[in-house]
Amino acid sequence: MDFGNTEYYTNRELSWVRFNERVLSEARDKETPLFERLKFLSITASNLDEFFMVRVASLKDMVHAGYSRKDIAGLKPAQQLELLYPVLHDFVHMQYDCYRKLLKECASKGLRMVEHHEDLSAADGDYADRYFIEHVYPVLTPMAVDSSRPFPLIKNKSLNICALLVKKGKDAEKEKNQEFATVQVPSVLPRLVRLPDSEGEIRIIRLEEVIERNIHRLFLNYDVLGSAPFQIMRNADLTIEEEEAEDLLKEIEKQIRKRQWGEVIRLEAEAGIDKRLLKILKHELSVTSEDIYEIDGPLDLTFLMKVYGQEGFDEYKHVNPKPCEVPQIPPGSNVFEAIRKGDILLHHPYQSFEPVVEFIRQAAADPDVLAIKQTLYRVSGNSPIVRALAAAAENGKQVSVLVELKARFDEENNIGWARMLEKAGCHVIYGLVGLKTHCKIALVVRREEDGIRRYVHLGTGNYNDATARLYTDMGILSCAEPLGEDATAVFNMLSGYSEPLGWNELSLAPLWLKKRLLKLIRRETEAARAGRSSGIRAKMNSLCDPDVIAALYEASSAGVQIELLVRGICCLKTGIPGVSENIHVYSIVGNYLEHGRIFIFENDCDPEVFLASADWMPRNLERRVEIMFPVRDPALKKRVMRILSLQFADNVKKRILEPSGEYRIPRSKKAERYSCQEAFEKEAAQLAGKGRGKGVKDSRRFTPRSAADDE
């Protein structure tokens, strides 16, 4: 049987849109607290922006270049765009339908968002006008367009207001008298303007509405025939010729600046915009009709995250419990002593990320630590880990840090950290040419009474203390010698040209990991054919590698029972007779972003359990440095298996992928409500010491990064 038949696969981009629809369904779910629904709607907007700037832009690049190679589902780039255009327009309509419903609910809870400046009362209008004159007007720079002033550069993702003008006293109907101007809504000012409270009701209006109300003040000798907000998305996918770049850091800085000049791939304009204005924008920005989105509502719904942050509405928000202590490493304990007692499994965000921070912090101060080596892909804006690494170098330790400069949309942040670490005396590596280093590994080399001992942390998520409160991830702290040897080999490979002939425990991409995965899947296939116990259970962010999917199809056809938890993109189809009848795919979208990668292979009743930094995608398995590592300790192995089983048991946020490609929630009136995320919160509290930490609330909140193309 041909398991590579393109009819057996879903287009990657269409699958991503379905993922964003699942995020949108959280915003539409009335069981979700109101302000959490605002947050989810904001996330869908952020996701969509990134999708356009990277994925749609990439397809357009292929079309321009005459690239006609078909995708996993047998579609050429032009066909994929043709498929996506109506789907994306429909999705935007669903977003704004949801927005209008949330708007009414917010008003009923005491938060009124004034949508149009025409709706302001006389008193509120006076307040908005004073605010404009005192705070906004001095910042604005209106840009006219005429024979001596060309159409200005419109920055990527900036919010702007365009206006059609005619000089006072001239005939407004004659096209030759009509002039175009635009003004950027200043990002240095708050997007939300709070109006004076009225009868205990909080009222806000968006900055662009205040500007549009007063736009005549910017063009004193002109009449304003029409005005409207607009926003553009540009191609933001970096093209870096690493082989040609003498200084990778400088080359990436140059490419980041070019993002402001990339091809326009989406134009959003307020619905009802004067057709003359839209015609000018379409011509000057060189966009097609399919790229124009006329929005019945405010542009750029990411502002809803600011609405979410309004004080006084905690009853309509989730208050996440404070991450619980890791029982093996209570605060104030010696991390190295704890690790020597046995491997330690970490389950974030239910368990605190602090032990990982302490691992590096204590290593930095410990006189017996000789060296620290670590990879950094995405870190927080005020990273305690980066500060600890800098302190370690200043304390005279050998510190080597691989900072991945090509982490999409975190390039500038990582460049700043790299320079700071270099100034502190760290040896900073920028990764391997042509590859992103996405693995999460830290190695501490310590001198002890019985000789040199190596301590290792391996994880499925980033060394980011902020997102560790929002993303579900797993990690292991260990001083097992085989892992230590492998970790040393990893860093020797990253910093030089040393490529080990073999590995004790680790499987690395791009050279070994995919081969290992395919071998493990084939072993289960052969076991099923021989009548032995077989099975595969796996969790990941995305699944679109054609070789892996074909191997799963073959395993299914042999009788292997396969359960997959895929949060985002899934190009595999379920329920194909003789091909995927034994494959069941689920997705969980909930309060926390499901980010961990767990792979379990039955192995004839002797299960093998792995954690990894890699999804089952070509980019992860073939174009990145990734690590898959086994969970060897029997107790920890059982715990990981149980964690995955409980996720499959979820009937609140888990959705089932149907053969039609749609997802549904398997709710039953008879089944007791079970949310795995809520259960893990309670279980972490119990593990911390018979409930110690239960009920403790943490008021700090973090804005989640877009999950559109996560990592």
- Please give, one letter per residue, the 3-state secondary structure of 566-577: ECCCECECCCCC
Whole-angstrom Cα distance, residue 208 to residue 185? Answer: 6
* Pair 533, 657: CB distance under 8 Å: no
* Pair 434, 449: CB distance under 8 Å: no
Whole-angstrom Cα distance, residue 647 to residue 674? Answer: 10
Surface-to-core class of residue 536, CB atoms within 10 Å of its CB (0-12 exposed, 13-18 middle, 19+ buried): buried
* Pair 248, 263: CB distance under 8 Å: no
Residue 463 has pLDDT above 80, yes or no: yes
**Termini Cα distance of the chain:** 34
* Pair 611, 628: CB distance under 8 Å: yes
Could you name the CATH architecture of 335-505? 2-Layer Sandwich (3.30)
Residue whose pair of structure tokens reads 């008879």 in the numeric block? 670
Q: For position 548, what pLDDT does the model report?
A: 98
Residue 698 has pLDDT above 60, yes or no: no
**412 phi, psi to nearest 5 deg:** -65, -45
Instruction: Provide long-range contacts, Cβ within 8 A and 24+ apart, for 31-35.
Output: 33/316, 33/317, 33/318, 34/102, 34/105, 34/106, 34/109, 34/313, 34/316, 35/307, 35/308, 35/313, 35/316, 35/317
Q: For position 583, what pLDDT does the model report?
A: 98
pTM here is 0.91
Residue 638 has pLDDT above 50, yes or no: yes
Q: For position 321, what pLDDT does the model report?
A: 85
Is 318 tagged catalytic?
no
Segment 118-167, tens digit of pLDDT: 999 999 999 999 999 999 999 999 998 876 788 888 999 999 999 999 99
Calculate the average pLDDT of the chain.
90
Question: What 3-state class would DSSP assign to 155?
Answer: coil
Share of the chain above pLDDT 70, in %: 92
Q: For position 669, what pLDDT does the model report?
A: 67
Q: What is the mean pLDDT of residues 412-416?
A: 77
Q: Which of 496-510, 601-615, 654-668 has the highest mean pLDDT?
A: 601-615
Helix (H) or strand (E) holding 508: strand 507-509
User: Which distant-in-sequence residues (6+ apart) come within 8 Å of 657 by Cβ?
Assistant: 566, 570, 574, 584, 585, 586, 587, 663
- Rounded to 10 degrees, the C-alpha dihedral 375/377/383/385 comes to -10
Write down how long the chain is: 711
Beta strands 440-448 and 436-437, pairing class: unpaired
Whole-angstrom Cα distance, residue 128 to residue 109? Answer: 23
Q: For position 708, what pLDDT does the model report?
A: 42
Beta strands (DSSP E) in 344-483 are: 344-348, 369-376, 398-403, 427-429, 436-437, 440-448, 451-459, 471-478
Whole-angstrom Cα distance, residue 84 to residue 81? Answer: 5
Residue 699 has pLDDT above 50, yes or no: no
Whole-angstrom Cα distance, residue 383 to residue 75? Answer: 43
Q: Characterize 426-437 residue by residue with b for buried, 16 or more Cβ atoms within 10 angstroms of its Cβ, and e for exposed.
A: bebbbbbeebbb
Whole-angstrom Cα distance, residue 155 to residue 158? Answer: 5
User: What percent helix, strand, coil does the chain show, rounded to 5?
Assistant: 40, 25, 40
Residue 247 has pLDDT above 90, yes or no: no
Segment 531-558, tens digit of pLDDT: 999 999 999 999 999 999 999 999 999 9
Question: What 3-state class would DSSP assign to 161?
Answer: strand
Residue 700 has pLDDT above 60, yes or no: no
Domain 508-674 sits in which CATH superfamily? Endonuclease Chain A (3.30.870.10)
Task: Say whether domain 116-296 belongs to CATH 3.40.50.2000.
Answer: no
CA distances to 42, 617, 685, 687 from 682, rounded to whole Å, are 28, 33, 5, 9
Whole-angstrom Cα distance, residue 365 to residue 384? Answer: 14
Whole-angstrom Cα distance, residue 399 to residue 389? Answer: 7
Segment 646-681, tens digit of pLDDT: 999 999 999 999 999 999 987 766 778 899 999 999
Q: What is the mean pLDDT of residues 626-646?
A: 97
Residue 292 has pLDDT above 90, yes or no: yes
Share of the chain above pLDDT 90, in %: 77
Q: For position 704, what pLDDT does the model report?
A: 38
Q: What is the CATH number of domain 1-104?
A: 1.20.58.310
Whole-angstrom Cα distance, residue 488 to residue 466? Answer: 28
CA distances to 128, 139, 141, 181, 182 from 218, rounded to whole Å, are 16, 12, 9, 10, 10
Active-site residue, selected from the candidate residues 347, 348, 438, 595? 438
Examine domains 335-505 and 508-674 and report if their fold is the same.
yes
Q: For position 567, what pLDDT does the model report?
A: 97
Ranges of each domain in the chain: 1-104, 116-296, 335-505, 508-674
Q: What is the mean pLDDT of residues 353-368?
A: 97
Segment 43-72, tens digit of pLDDT: 999 999 999 999 999 999 889 889 889 999
Residue 612 has pLDDT above 90, yes or no: yes
